[in-house]
Structure 1
């Protein structure tokens, strides 16, 4: 009993806790992300919620950053900090020492000049530092504390010298960008310590040579960008090989290189070489040497001569080459000898005047050829017959001799292709077809889709789908390894076209693809093309997923599970398994996958950013199609702590990417990359959330068994916990019934019956209440006792409220509904707990109790309170809270008063929007004349009531004199006479008369004669309330008035204007017109409540051909 007393006393002392509001000058998309504009760094940081993980501050006037700016900050999990567009010039020592968990520090676009040596102390796990667009001149040893740094951006500063040892501690640095500085000196020790550096960019740094001091420290470099400098000579090949043995991409565009030495790149591991925008004039036969380059760019030089077999020594690996915008008048017939694998060749705008018949005969793999913008006037016969796989051929902008025979496209495609073939001398026109030239739209033109051709589309003539399918099939079956690889690559590009896919499948192409997988002889790149092609071919639904052999499925499972397979093979493998589960009707195929693939085996792939989406899709497919007992096991696996943490990381970072996309935050885990809001990853997280919550569907639709001892024990524990009862002994029945009544049971004699009669939510409601009492006992007792202490009429029945709330939460979360194809709304907090729905309920039941108290509700208001609570929950979910604490904080902000304000504002916004709809505008115009008549009549009625004015004449105020004016009932004359201060004379007592017909005009404001006199005398009355009636008789004085307030002024001037047939111009008239129009519109639209009014009226249908139906007998 004493314990109960103490709980009641504690309850009475409870006050609502203070919540962390979003700081002024800031916006808070959630309680973990804050974006601020203006203010000081210290003031912003001091008011941040402790849940903040990401903060952006811009346009602040702080010129120094120091430790004191963060003294009062308590943000233990801050991982992203951005300060931009500020006046900051200095960063003091230990400024960021409190943020040991920070991963990303962005200080772009400030005025930083001085960064003290220990400024970054304490940031031991920082991975990205962005200092671009500042005024930094000296970097010294400022980076020494940043031992985990992976990416460093220093472009667009004023760095002149990089001292020795500047990067000694950056052994983990992978990317360093120093573009747009004026680096004049560095030595052999400048880049010492960068043992992991794979990307270095020194664009536009005024470099004139590539010294061995630079190369000597770049043993791990893979990409080196030295474009936009003044380099005119290159190191010898042996220097490159010795100092940068792993270099694969070398970018040297926009330099001053005039020639290449003999064997300039011999033996290098280069895959891409960019020499565009230099001053090369000749390409000799031995310039490159054996170097196996894949991509060579020689565009925008001054090349006038290309030697015979100029590229033969490079090796056969070259796939892409551009020589565009040079001055090559002619090419030797064997200029491209040896480039057997070349797929793309750009010779545009080179002033080429002539091509040889055998110019491209050895380029059997060429897919893209650009000869546009040259000076060709004809194409030699037979030059195109070597192009077996050409996809895009550009010939525009030459000096062709046209025969003016324009092909008409208003005929069948077969006839069009025949005309083109005859024009270009091509045999067997049936072996050709038209195709879109866009690389992202490699689709064959057919009679079905030719309507999709638009003006400006470029089409290419290529091999027909049937011929291409046959050629690929032959190469796959009989070709050599290199031919088979090229065929597989081309197949993966074309398999998405339905016309080609049908032809290839008809020739048993799918069968050979499956056999490749079953045989297990292909690995790496070839296997990835095989699996991608299979996925694309199956998407056309030509072949049923039921035809997939168990051996094929087993091999695909092995691809998923093998660590040696690689991402490029695992991605399509995961997609194949997902499709088998979702689309196959044979349960045996599901079992074959389930026996090999379990959630525990999928878990490692969920930690890989490249595989995560497909892995989650496969997990969802297994979850969705599993039998009930297997669903339970999958659910248990997902709720395991390690698995749940992985999913939680995915959900939080997908959410963070959505809010921080504009800031270009580089996320390094699950959902980093070029994803946009509403991506496929978001859809998969939504599906998983839905499937997890649907695990409650069975209990939601099941009533409890009143005779079940476990149910009885749960209900008894609710009573005992709430009222501090340790034993059942000596508890009379009336006492129990009274306690059950206080708990809010409707059936006090058999409380379990409440969970039988209210199904759904049935047993789910009891589980939620029991969880609340067990896991949040203090809050449970507080809610129950608070309700027990209220008067009966204001009592909130806890059990009934919990039952109805559970049902409402099921409706909000769509429990029992399968995932929708277009759904992508997920809530990261549901992945943060092993009992997410129960925790959700615990927060919401406390919200219901709080809202009940704020509304001072009674039992009759139950459904109204529930409606407000539902609105509060929905609005709190709008921010997709990342944690239950963030959800709780958001709910605390949404009080009942706030909801009422929001509803009122939304109603006003809706009315304003609807008022702009064309039907409403037309309705307003239609009823406006009637409203104007009403206002005019009201103004005349006001004048008939009359008013007392201080008496004025054109010279000014007549001292201590007043007069009273009225309009006659027939509106033909004003009656007036002098009166006392408190008099209100009748019409008969007003002896003087002014006929309306004798009024010439109405004067207002400064046009009134008594106002002009007032200005001379500097009187103190308001000229804005002055008006005067000017008679139409000669030399007659004006009748002058000063209204007592603006309303009287508006009413009298409007009334007089009505009498004179003038327009009413007062503000009061506009207000009255808008008010009356709005009220009339609302009254007329009462029957359209809930119907969306279109912006434009629906079109009037055309008249029928005849009106004979009028005579039909119905």
Structure 2
């Protein structure tokens, strides 16, 4: 019989007992399941027990999360976090009178006393031990409490019994600055992170005590990371308490924590630092970052955290991303401020007049400053141009001089390029956008030097000029060039280069041709063309398609082409016609008139048997090209010239051609190669083959649309142990 869908096979264990293997029916109430488990172990009062997952979190099983129980799960039986309301049973009156005479209790209390088990409930028992036990009892109770408070059901009971206040008392008293304090801080944090109590309710004396632990020089290594974590949560959740933390915890103290070799302490110190920066105003944030950079925090992060021998954790990567985003966010005010184009004092006082005058062409040539009214990038684009001209004067001069010597239509506009490039960099670096709560994509090179954004602009503007030349762009192609530059920058930033020089090397290696190749490869990957089965199919289709191309080339030779003769004076006024006979055995050729159409092949006076042809020569190997010399005027002949060397009696002769176009050159050389039994290796053949392969592959895969194609074929099953089997056709199938 097939197993029921709602039944799972699990194990239930309890201390000092043999585990039970049961079949749990998910449709049955948990109370009934718990009762059956208790009966198997001869336990009374099943209401006092609960099931927990046996993983490290020890979460209680409830009706809401019982769907997480799967086949093979292990559960534990423990005391329940909540005391159930018991109904006193009926006792005979004589028994109650007898007990009340011997015990100083009211008769109504006796049934409850008889029903209570000797052990306390888990939550109440642990909290009582925290309040009344000795030092060792506190430690053991806190260890168990830390394991259990991650469960929200247990945490609710602890909080409802003033567990936070009891933990706060232990933290504020500070009688033990070692393991007990660390366990109390951890339990307190776990309870608060459930979100049932607001951080606003935390008292100022408590926060000051935690600040005291952070500022202490000699402190247990397990305490300070937890104290820093608690202050981070306070800072992010309560602006008022965050201001107090900012005033009580000096930046120098955080720098001390960042410079220790304890990676956990470094991470929590960086977390508190980014929390303080996020809670500060823009002016305060700039002042704090300037002070931190003066204390060489950037250099320390770059050398001792990013390039540390220990791997960088995900949490530290996130905090470095936040620090990078907050640092770049200081540029946002400049990005949001537009230049007043009619105020001469606004830029002439800073020496911008000569720069603006030499930045032509601007889109607004009458007043170049009007182009900087756009927000974004606002004044940030002008800051970039100024930085480039002052800190990279040779590169700036080369940019201006190169473009001034070009034709007007091929000139790369510096000002327009700078404005668009600044907008592009702001978009790629997410300047002006809020920080993500989970992102980790910081760039190490931003911690490698000061003024990282302006330095990145200097590299990018030179890249734009280089790409402009590679694309042979005109001003009408400006948007296309910017799209390529965006892709170059985005791809290189995604590699996370460790330094600006490495970024410069990688982005300059990503040429326009390489971008086109990557685009083609990605497109093929998206279409599934590069999958192993597809490649195998393409290889099988190639011979047939190459036969089609060969047939097309020979048909083109049979149609014939009119060629021009080139005399010693380079006159091209004479024409001649050549074609292949229908039986592919003879080349027919002869002179023709320009006004006449293609002649009838039988009327051509000259013939060249294909069997007499020795070789096909192209380019500089052709005799009629060698006779012309190697001057620049003959360069155009090299690409269109081809010759057929053949035997004429005992002498070697040649039939020389100058193709009218590059396409005709490819068609004729391919056709003649096919006649001579040589491979067709022209660029046109490669393009035609690729087009035919793509079309044929898509046609054959139409039936497999939206069906994933595996990388490897399914394995062939092994043969049977014997072949002694047959099919009896006389037996009718049911």
- Shorter-chain TM-score above 0.5: yes
Q: Is the alpha carbon distance of 1:938 and 1:642 closer, same or farther for their aligned partners in structure 2, counting shifts above 3 Å?
A: closer
Check the 8 A contact 1:741/1:748 in 2, yes or no.
no
Check the 8 A contact 1:683/1:823 in 2, yes or no.
yes
Check the 8 A contact 1:393/1:460 in 2, yes or no.
no
Q: Is the alpha carbon distance of 1:602 and 1:462 closer, same or farther for their aligned partners in structure 2, counting shifts above 3 Å?
A: same
Q: CA deviation at 1:1044?
A: 8.6
Q: CA deviation at 1:717?
A: 6.2
- Structure 2 residue 428 is the aligned partner of structure 1 residue 809: no
- Structure 2 residue 130 is the aligned partner of structure 1 residue 476: yes
For 2:54, which of 437, 443, 448 is the aligned residue? 437
- Structure 2 residue 408 is the aligned partner of structure 1 residue 792: yes
Q: How many residues align?
A: 547
For 2:240, which of 561, 565, 588 is the aligned residue? 588
- Structure 2 residue 457 is the aligned partner of structure 1 residue 841: yes
TM-score by length of 1: 0.45
Aligned mates of 1:551, 1:460 — CA distance in 2:
40
- Structure 2 residue 439 is the aligned partner of structure 1 residue 827: no
For 1:877, which of 493, 510, 516 is the aligned residue? 493
- Structure 2 residue 295 is the aligned partner of structure 1 residue 637: no
Q: What aligned pairs does 1:718-757 form with structure 2 within 5 A after superposition?
A: 718-719=354-355, 740=357, 742-748=359-365, 750-756=367-373
Check the 8 A contact 1:768/1:841 in 2, yes or no.
yes
Check the 8 A contact 2:347/2:353 in 1, yes or no.
no
Aligned mates of 1:406, 1:848 — CA distance in 2:
69
Deviation per CA, 1:758-788: give whole Å up to 9, x if none. 2210011111111222222332233223323
Aligned mates of 1:907, 1:887 — CA distance in 2:
26
Aligned-CA RMSD value: 4.2
Q: Is the alpha carbon distance of 1:936 and 1:841 closer, same or farther for their aligned partners in structure 2, counting shifts above 3 Å?
A: closer
Q: CA deviation at 1:822?
A: 3.1
- Residue 328 (structure 2) aligns with: 693
Aligned mates of 1:776, 1:1069 — CA distance in 2:
48
For 1:599, which of 234, 242, 251 is the aligned residue? 251
- Residue 468 (structure 2) aligns with: 852
Q: Which runs of 5+ in 1 are unaligned?
A: 1-371, 373-389, 397-401, 655-666, 720-738, 919-923, 948-963, 967-975, 987-1042, 1051-1066, 1085-1092, 1098-1114
- Residue 201 (structure 2) aligns with: 547
- Residue 65 (structure 2) aligns with: 449
Aligned mates of 1:469, 1:696 — CA distance in 2:
52
Deviation per CA, 1:627-651: give whole Å up to 9, x if none. 2221222221333251111222355
- Structure 2 residue 350 is the aligned partner of structure 1 residue 714: yes
Q: CA deviation at 1:874?
A: 1.7
Q: Is the alpha carbon distance of 1:543 and 1:913 closer, same or farther for their aligned partners in structure 2, counting shifts above 3 Å?
A: farther
Deviation per CA, 1:1014-1054: give whole Å up to 9, x if none. xxxxxxxxxxxxxxxxxxxxxxxxxxxxx99768999xxxx
- Structure 2 residue 141 is the aligned partner of structure 1 residue 487: yes
Q: CA deviation at 1:499?
A: 1.2
For 2:379, which of 753, 763, 769 is the aligned residue? 763
Aligned mates of 1:486, 1:808 — CA distance in 2:
58
Q: CA deviation at 1:834?
A: 2.7
Q: CA deviation at 1:568?
A: 0.9
- Residue 613 (structure 1) aligns with: 267
Q: CA deviation at 1:457?
A: 1.2
Residue 610 of structure 1 aligns to a residue whose secondary structure is helix
Aligned mates of 1:873, 1:1068 — CA distance in 2:
30
Aligned mates of 2:402, 2:548 — CA distance in 1:
59
- Residue 970 (structure 1) aligns with: none
Residue 822 of structure 1 aligns to a residue whose secondary structure is coil
- Residue 575 (structure 1) aligns with: 229
- Structure 2 residue 509 is the aligned partner of structure 1 residue 893: yes
For 1:417, which of 5, 12, 34 is the aligned residue? 34
Aligned mates of 2:707, 2:317 — CA distance in 1:
33
- Residue 282 (structure 1) aligns with: none
Aligned mates of 1:901, 1:909 — CA distance in 2:
12
Residue 519 of structure 2 aligns to a residue whose secondary structure is helix
Aligned mates of 2:431, 2:556 — CA distance in 1:
67
- Structure 2 residue 315 is the aligned partner of structure 1 residue 680: yes
Aligned mates of 1:1044, 1:751 — CA distance in 2:
61
For 2:338, which of 703, 726, 745 is the aligned residue? 703
Aligned mates of 1:406, 1:835 — CA distance in 2:
66
Check the 8 A contact 2:381/2:419 in 1, yes or no.
yes
Q: CA deviation at 1:1070?
A: 9.5
Check the 8 A contact 2:152/2:194 in 1, yes or no.
yes
Q: Is the alpha carbon distance of 1:780 and 1:717 closer, same or farther for their aligned partners in structure 2, counting shifts above 3 Å?
A: farther
- Residue 518 (structure 2) aligns with: 902
Check the 8 A contact 2:317/2:440 in 1, yes or no.
yes
Aligned mates of 1:892, 1:1080 — CA distance in 2:
40
Deviation per CA, 1:10-32: give whole Å up to 9, x if none. xxxxxxxxxxxxxxxxxxxxxxx
Q: Is the alpha carbon distance of 1:941 and 1:532 closer, same or farther for their aligned partners in structure 2, counting shifts above 3 Å?
A: closer
Aligned mates of 2:197, 2:153 — CA distance in 1:
14
TM-score by length of 2: 0.66
- Residue 656 (structure 2) aligns with: none
- Residue 341 (structure 1) aligns with: none
Check the 8 A contact 1:743/1:784 in 2, yes or no.
no
Q: Is the alpha carbon distance of 1:465 and 1:811 closer, same or farther for their aligned partners in structure 2, counting shifts above 3 Å?
A: same
Aligned mates of 1:647, 1:826 — CA distance in 2:
12
Aligned mates of 2:368, 2:672 — CA distance in 1:
71
Residue 754 of structure 1 aligns to a residue whose secondary structure is helix
Q: What aligned pairs does 1:330-409 form with structure 2 within 5 A after superposition?
A: 395=18
Name the structure with the higher helix share. Answer: 2
Deviation per CA, 1:247-300: give whole Å up to 9, x if none. xxxxxxxxxxxxxxxxxxxxxxxxxxxxxxxxxxxxxxxxxxxxxxxxxxxxxx
